[in-house]
Amino acid sequence: MNNFNNEGYSIIESLISIFTIDKGKVKVLLFRKKDEPYKGYWMLPGGILKANESLEESISDYVVENCGFSNLYTEQCHVFSDVERIPDKRVVAITCIGLIDSISVELKQEIPDSIESEWFNISAIPKTIYDHGMIIDKSVDCLRERIINSNVLKILFPSDFTLPELQKVYEQILGKELDRRNFRKKFINLGLIEDTGYKNEGYTGRPAKLYRFKENIEERDLF
Amino acid sequence: MNNFNNEGYSIIESLISIFTIDKGKVKVLLFRKKDEPYKGYWMLPGGILKANESLEESISDYVVENCGFSNLYTEQCHVFSDVERIPDKRVVAITCIGLIDSISVELKQEIPDSIESEWFNISAIPKTIYDHGMIIDKSVDCLRERIINSNVLKILFPSDFTLPELQKVYEQILGKELDRRNFRKKFINLGLIEDTGYKNEGYTGRPAKLYRFKENIEERDLF
């Protein structure tokens, strides 16, 4: 079993799907590939895992250096190891999701000029290299599991929000429309959010109550 | 970014925590290490990922060959990539959980004589090599997430069971005692199980109702 030989050497790349919410839209950060093959196509940020760093260190160093985010929330998502996922090369991709709020994006984003980057709506992903489209889909699945069962959405909503705004974000991540009354009832019952006492005046339409996520949210356990 | 060089080559091992329920106890399968270092210590089944196989193929082939389980349910769990997890070697571990019912274990288990194997209670794990103890803990976490949010427990309970039996299994996986009445109420409300109409007569004490998991269980979604 512990028979290490050359046959067993693989290249590992760590890739990250960084999500944010920008004006009510769930977006993911992609970089544009600068060289052949697939020059001009879009790709997930990430790099080759070096022998002297863990996955977590690799992602963290990469994200600080190439995106300027020093406080990104990250979690492992899925390993993609199809032998032919990259032609002519054996590269295993270990993928993570990252969450950052839009205010931090504006304040801290320092992507070097040499990298062409863009935030894309998760419903409008452009042409990507290799299996990155599939990896983005899986990352949205991971995000979906997280928002149903824990409080990570709080990271994406650091400031006040209305329930319709929250519902729109859930609808994008879950990929389906939700009943407004049902959503309101279920979400308030979860006890994750509290009424701020304010309303969002000044917009068109009836002012809606503003909510915020509670400071301390316990993980929602079934038992 | 796509700058592949020798620095980036790692050995990947795929390890699997195979769980079953044996007479009401949640158990995990371990193999005994036959050679130095750590001869006699216990370890998770698994092997080196070869260049011509995906993680899923590697696990599946390994499990069929070394355990005789051809129908194991598996899911990815977590990647362990600490630089020093194995002394003097850089080995990244990609870990999975596997579930098999105890009847299939008895019928199909064909672990070769050359492998010393044993099923251990998850509350009584023996001395393991390297970080395998930590990997087993994380695997129990993965199992915990699964049993709260989906129907994978059905795989472990192919035949009828009483609610106290089910509760004991949940308590082992969750690592805490549960209130009997609360458990009963919550579990029945989930709609995952149905009354078989039978009772387990012939045991000591009052006969208890026998339940089974429903044939078609929808994933429990919050929304």
Identify the pLDDT of residue B203. Answer: 66
Please identify among residues 127-186 of chain B the ones whose CB lies closer than 8 Å to any CB of chain A. Answer: 145, 148-149, 170, 174, 178, 182-183, 186
pLDDT for res A149: 73
Decide if pLDDT at A35 tops 60: yes
Any domain includes A1: no
Q: Looking at the domain assignment, is residue B154 inside a domain?
A: no
Tally of domains in chain A: 2
Match 């038992």 to its residue by tokens: A223
State residue A5's pLDDT score: 43
Look at residues A150, A169, A194 and tell me which one is the last residue of a structural domain: A150
Instruction: Let me know: does B94 contact B49? Beta carbons within 8 Å.
Output: yes
Q: How far is B201 from chain A (nearest CA, A)?
A: 29
pLDDT at A219: 59
What is the per-residue pLDDT for A143? 94
Instruction: Please check whether residues B141 and B171 belong to one and the same domain.
Output: no
pLDDT at A7: 61
Q: Please give, one letter per residue, the 3-state secondary structure of chain B.
A: CCCCCHHHEEEEEEEEEEEEEECCEEEEEEEECCCCCCCCCEECCEEECCCCCCHHHHHHHHHHHHHCCCCCEEEEEEEECCCCCECCECEEEEEEEEECCHHHHHHHCCCCCCCCEEEEECCCCCCECCCHHHHHHHHHHHHHHHHHHCCCHHHHCCCCECHHHHHHHHHHHHCCCCCHHHHHHHHHHHCCEEEEEEECCCCCCCCCEEEEECCCCCCCCCC
Residue A65 lies in a domain: yes
In a domain, B89, yes or no: yes
Binning pLDDT at 50, 70 and 90, where does residue B25 land?
A: very high
Query: A184 versus B5: which is more confidently predicted?
Result: A184
For residue A50, list chain B residues with Cβ-Cβ distance below 8 A.
7-8
How many CA atoms within 13 Å lie on the side-chain side of A209? 10
User: Are A141 and A110 part of one and the same domain?
Assistant: yes
B112 falls within a domain: yes
Q: Which one has a higher pLDDT value, B164 or A88?
A: B164
Residues B65 and B164 in one domain: no
Contact B81 A5 (CB under 8 A): no
A97 and A20, same domain (yes or no): yes
Interchain contact, B178 vs A223, CB within 8 Å: yes
Share of chain B above pLDDT 70, in %: 91
Query: Minimum mean pLDDT among A119-133, B18-32, B200-214: which range?
Result: B200-214
Say if B29 falls within a structural domain: yes
How confident is the model over A179-186, as a mean pLDDT?
Answer: 92
Instruction: Identify the residue among A2, A49, A77 best suited for mutation to test binding to B, counting B beta carbons within 10 A and taking the highest.
Output: A2
- Asked whether residue B57 falls in the same domain as residue B91, the answer is yes
In this structure, the answer to whether residues B118 and B193 fall within a common structural domain is no
Best A4, A48, A173, A220 residue to mutate vs chain B (most B CBs within 10 Å): A48
Q: A85 or B200: whose pLDDT is higher?
A: A85
Residues 67 to 96 of B: which have CB under 8 A from any A CB? 76, 78-79, 81-83, 89-92, 94
Based on the domain organization, do A174 and A103 belong to the same domain?
no
Among candidate residues A150, A181, A200, the one where a domain is terminated: A150
A50: contact with B, CB 8 A cutoff: yes
> Is B92 in Cβ contact with A55 (below 8 Å)?
yes
Helix axes B163-174, B180-190, angle to 10 degrees: 100
Residues B90-135 pLDDT 10s:
999 999 999 999 888 887 667 777 789 999 999 999 999 999 999 9
Confidence of residue B201 (pLDDT cuts 50, 70, 90): confident
Residue B191's CATH number: 1.10.10.10
Optimal mutation site among A10, A14, A42, A75, interface B, most CBs of chain B within 10 A: A10
Q: In this structure, which amino acid lies at residue B35?
A: D
Please check whether residues B39 and B127 belong to one and the same domain: yes
Residue A221: predicted pLDDT: 62
Q: Are residues A105 and A168 in the same domain?
A: no
Whether residue A111 is predicted with pLDDT greater than 80 in this model: the reply is no
Assess whether pLDDT exceeds 80 at residue B8: no
A144 and A40 in a common domain? yes
Residue A1 has pLDDT above 70, yes or no: no
Choose between A208 and B131: higher pLDDT: B131
pLDDT category, A60, cuts 50, 70, 90?
very high
Contact B63, B72 (CB under 8 A): yes
Residue B24 lies in a domain: yes
**Higher pLDDT residue, A206 or B160?**
B160
pLDDT category at A186 given cuts 50, 70, 90 is confident
Whether A222 is covered by a domain: the verdict is: no
Kindly tell me if the per-residue pLDDT of A4 is higher than 50: no
Peptide bond preceding A126 in cis form (omega within 30 of 0): no
For residue A48, which residues of chain B lie inside 8 Å, CB to CB? 3-5, 7-8
Domain of residue B52, CATH code = 3.90.79.10
pLDDT at B211 over 70: yes
DSSP string, A94-105: EEEEEE--HHHH
- B48 strand-pairing partners: B13
Q: What is chain B's mean pLDDT, rounded? A: 88
- Where does the pLDDT of residue A117 fall: very low under 50, low under 70, confident under 90, or very high at 90 and above? very high
On the question of pLDDT at B21 being above 50, the answer is: yes
Decide: helix, strand or coil at residue A80.
Answer: strand
State phi, psi for B168 to the nearest 5 degrees: -60, -40
Amino acid at B180: R
Q: Domain range spanning residue B45?
A: 6-149
Which of A150, A181, A201 is at the close of a domain?
Answer: A150
Closest Cα of chain A to B202: distance in Å? Answer: 31
- The answer to whether A85 and A131 have CB atoms below 8 angstroms apart is yes
Read off the pLDDT band of B12 (50, 70, 90): very high
Query: pLDDT tens for residues A65-103?
Result: 998 888 899 999 999 999 999 998 899 999 999 999 988
Beta-carbon pairs below 8 A across chains A and B: 129
One domain, residues A125 and A142 = yes
* pLDDT above 50 (res B221): yes
Q: Do A170 and A88 share a structural domain?
A: no
